[in-house]
C-alpha cells in the first residue's frame, strides 16, 4: 500500500508527524486485536485532527460501520477493495492522480512478503476470518507471483516470506503451493524462502519433504494446532485428529531432526474441560516446539462458537493461559539450546544502539552478533552462537540492549534505512 501511494506522488512520513492521510490496516482475528485498532483510531483522531483517517483490513467487516458512526474513521475501504485503496482514497479527497507504471520498492524492511492467496473455506467454529476475508480461496496467478518475486530479489531482498490467509489452499491452473515454492526457490539471486502459517491436515507432509530437498526453504513450519484434545478439535470444526498431528510430527522430525515447528493454541474454548487442557499441555511437552503462541479464547461476532454453551469463565482462561505460556517458554529454551556452538544463518535486519547486528535465523530464532561491520542489513551471514540471553542467540561479547528488542520488523534508525 505504501508503494502504491508513493506511485501517485504521496510521500510517507514517520508516525506522529502531521499527515494528510493516515491508513489503519486493521486486524480482527482476536477481540484484543480489534480493540487495539479502535484505540489507535481514537488516538489518531486527537493527534491528527486534520488528517483523513482511513480504516481498511479485516475490522472493516466487523466494526467498520461503528467506526464511521462514532466519527473515528473518515473513510472505510473494505477488505475486498483494499488492493484499490489508492484510487478510492484519492477520489475521496478530490485529488487528480496518475499512477506510475511500476510500483516503488523502498528497502525500509529487511524481509519481503509475497502474498499469494486470500480467503479461507474451512469455516472453523471460532474463526471470524471467513467473514472478514471471504469463505472462498482466491489465488494469485502463478506467473504473477514469480514476477513479483523476481522484482523483490532485484530490489535487494534476500528473504521472501510466502503468505496468505490459508496459504495451503493456493492453486492456479493445476499448480499448488508445492509447485510455487519449488519454482520460487529456483529463482536466481534468492537468499532464502520462508513460509507463513500452514493449516494442519493439508500439505504439511509434502512441505517437509520439499524442505529436505531444497535448502533455500527455511526449516521453519508454523502449524496452528489450536488444541491438543480431540473433543475440543471437533467442537472447533478442525480437520484432523491428535493422532494425525503426532504422526506428522514424528515423520517431520525424522526427516529434519532440527526442524523448527511453531504453533498457535486457543485456551479456554467453550467446553474445554480440565482433562482436555491437560491433553493440550501433554502434546506440547511431547515435542520440541520452538514457538508456541497462546491465545485465551475470545468470542468473535457471527461465529458458531460464540453461541456455544459451556463458555469458560475468564479466571479459568487466564490460569490456563499462564500455565501454557510457562510450558511454551520452557520448550522454546530447550529448542534454542541445541544451536549453542553450531553455525546458524542470520539475516541481518537492524543494528541496536550498541552497534550489534540483529535479526533472525532460518529457524526463526532471534540472533545478535557483536563486532559487526556496518551496512550488513538484508544480507545473510553464518554465525556460531555461544549462549542464550533474553530469548536471543548470542555470538560474541554483546552488551546489554537499552533500546527496542527484535520483533517482527526492526525499529527505524539511520543504520537500517
**Over the stretch 59-71, which tens digit does the pLDDT of each residue have?**
998 887 888 778 8
Mean pLDDT of 33-61: 93
Mean pLDDT of 336-363: 95
pLDDT at 229: 98
Residue 411 has pLDDT above 60, yes or no: no
How does DSSP assign 258-319, residue by residue? T-EEEEEEEES-TT--HHHHHHHHHHHHHS--SEEEEEE----TT-GGGG-SSPPPHHHHHH
Mean pLDDT of 331-337: 98
All structural domains of the chain with their residue ranges: 2-93, 111-337, 340-417
Rounded-to-integer distance, Cα 338 and Cα 318, Å: 31
Q: Is the dihedral of CA 120, 123, 124, 128 positive or negative?
A: positive
Report the b/e string of 225-242 with b at 16+ CB within 10 A: bbbbbbebbebbebebeb
The residue written with cell numbers 493440550 in the block is 280
**Over the stretch 365-377, which tens digit does the pLDDT of each residue have?**
999 998 888 889 9
Residue 200 has pLDDT above 80, yes or no: yes
Rounded-to-integer distance, Cα 35 and Cα 32, Å: 5
Please give the angle made by the CA atoms of 58, 59 and 62, to the nearest 5 degrees.
Answer: 110
Mean pLDDT lowest among 70-84, 102-116, 345-359, 400-414:
400-414
Residue 141 has pLDDT above 60, yes or no: yes
Rounded-to-integer distance, Cα 322 and Cα 315, Å: 11
Residue 416 has pLDDT above 80, yes or no: no
Rounded-to-integer distance, Cα 322 and Cα 416, Å: 36
Query: Is 340-417 the same fold as 111-337?
Result: no
Helix axes 274-286, 242-255, angle to 10 degrees: 10
Q: What is the pTM of this model?
A: 0.87
**Over the stretch 236-270, which tens digit does the pLDDT of each residue have?**
999 999 999 999 999 999 999 999 999 999 999 99
Tell me the Ramachandran region of residue 85: left when phi exceeds 0, alpha when psi lies from -120 to 50, beta otherwise: alpha
Compute the CA torsion angle 148, 153, 159, 164 (nearest 10 deg). Answer: 0
Residue 48 has pLDDT above 70, yes or no: yes
How does DSSP assign 64-112, residue by residue? HHHHHHTTS-SEEE-GGGGGGHHHHHHHHHT------SS----TTSSEE
Average pLDDT of the residues of the chain: 91
Helix (H, G, I), strand (E, B) or coil at 2: helix
pLDDT at 76: 95
412: which DSSP letter? P
C-alpha cell at 23: 491508513
* Strands, E assignment, 133-255: 138-139, 159-164, 171-172, 175-176, 192-195, 220-222
Architecture of 340-417 per CATH? Beta Barrel (2.40)
Rounded-to-integer distance, Cα 341 and Cα 344, Å: 9
pLDDT at 407: 41
Class of 111-337 per CATH? alpha beta
Amino acid at each position: 500500500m505504501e508503494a502504491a501511494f508513493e506511485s501517485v506522488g504521496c510521500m510517507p512520513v514517520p508516525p506522529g508527524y502531521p499527515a494528510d492521510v493516515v491508513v489503519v490496516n486493521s486486524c480482527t482475528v482476536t477481540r484484543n486485536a480489534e480493540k487495539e485498532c479502535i484505540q489507535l483510531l481514537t488516538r489518531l483522531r486527537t493527534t491528527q485532527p486534520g488528517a483523513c483517517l482511513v480504516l481498511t483490513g479485516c475490522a472493516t467487516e466487523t466494526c467498520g460501520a461503528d467506526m464511521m458512526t462514532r466519527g473515528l474513521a473518515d473513510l472505510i475501504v473494505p477488505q475486498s477493495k483494499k488492493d484499490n485503496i489508492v484510487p478510492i482514497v484519492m477520489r475521496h479527497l478530490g485529488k487528480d492522480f496518475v499512477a506510475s507504471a511500476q510500483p516503488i520498492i523502498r528497502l525500509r524492511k529487511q524481509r519481503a512478503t509475497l502474498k499469494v492467496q486470500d480467503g479461507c473455506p474451512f469455516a472453523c467454529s471460532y474463526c471470524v476470518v471467513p467473514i472478514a476475508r471471504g469463505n472462498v480461496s482466491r489465488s494469485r496467478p502463478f506467473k504473477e507471483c514469480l514476477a513479483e518475486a523476481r522484482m523483490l530479489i532485484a530490489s535487494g531482498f534476500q528473504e521472501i516470506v510466502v503468505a496468505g490467509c490459508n496459504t495451503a489452499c493456493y492453486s492456479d491452473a493445476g499448480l499448488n503451493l508445492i509447485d510455487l515454492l519449488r519454482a520460487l526457490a529456483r529463482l536466481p539471486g534468492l537468499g532464502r524462502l520462508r513460509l507463513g502459517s500452514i493449516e494442519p491436515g493439508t500439505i504439511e507432509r509434502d512441505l517437509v519433504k520439499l524442505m529436505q530437498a531444497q535448502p533455500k526453504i527455511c526449516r521453519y513450519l508454523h502449524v496452528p494446532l489450536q488444541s491438543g484434545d480431540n473433543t475440543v478439535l471437533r467442537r472447533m470444526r478442525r480437520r484432523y485428529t491428535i493422532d494425525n498431528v503426532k504422526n506428522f510430527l514424528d515423520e517431520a522430525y525424522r526427516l529434519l531432526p532440527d526442524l523448527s515447528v511453531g504453533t498457535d493454541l486457543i485456551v479456554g474454548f467453550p467446553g474445554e474441560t480440565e482433562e482436555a487442557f491437560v491433553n493440550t499441555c501433554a502434546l506440547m511437552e511431547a515435542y520440541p516446539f520452538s514457538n508456541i503462541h497462546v491465545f485465551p479464547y475470545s468470542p468473535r461476532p457471527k461465529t458458531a462458537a460464540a453461541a456455544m454453551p459451556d463458555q469458560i469463565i475468564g479466571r479459568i482462561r487466564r490460569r490456563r493461559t499462564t500455565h501454557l505460556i510457562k510450558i511454551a517458554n520452557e520448550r522454546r529454551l530447550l529448542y534454542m539450546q541445541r544451536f549453542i556452538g553450531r553455525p546458524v544463518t542470520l539475516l541481518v535486519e537492524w543494528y541496536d544502539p550498541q552497534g550489534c547486528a540483529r535479526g533472525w535465523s532460518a529457524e526463526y530464532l532471534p540472533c545478535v552478533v557483536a563486532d559487526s561491520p556496518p551496512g550488513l542489513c538484508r544480507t545473510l551471514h553464518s554465525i556460531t552462537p555461544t549462549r542464550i540471553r533474553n530469548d536471543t542467540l548470542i555470538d560474541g561479547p554483546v552488551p546489554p540492549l537499552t533500546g527496542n528488542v527484535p520483533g517482527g520488523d526492526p525499529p527505524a534508525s539511520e543504520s537500517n534505512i
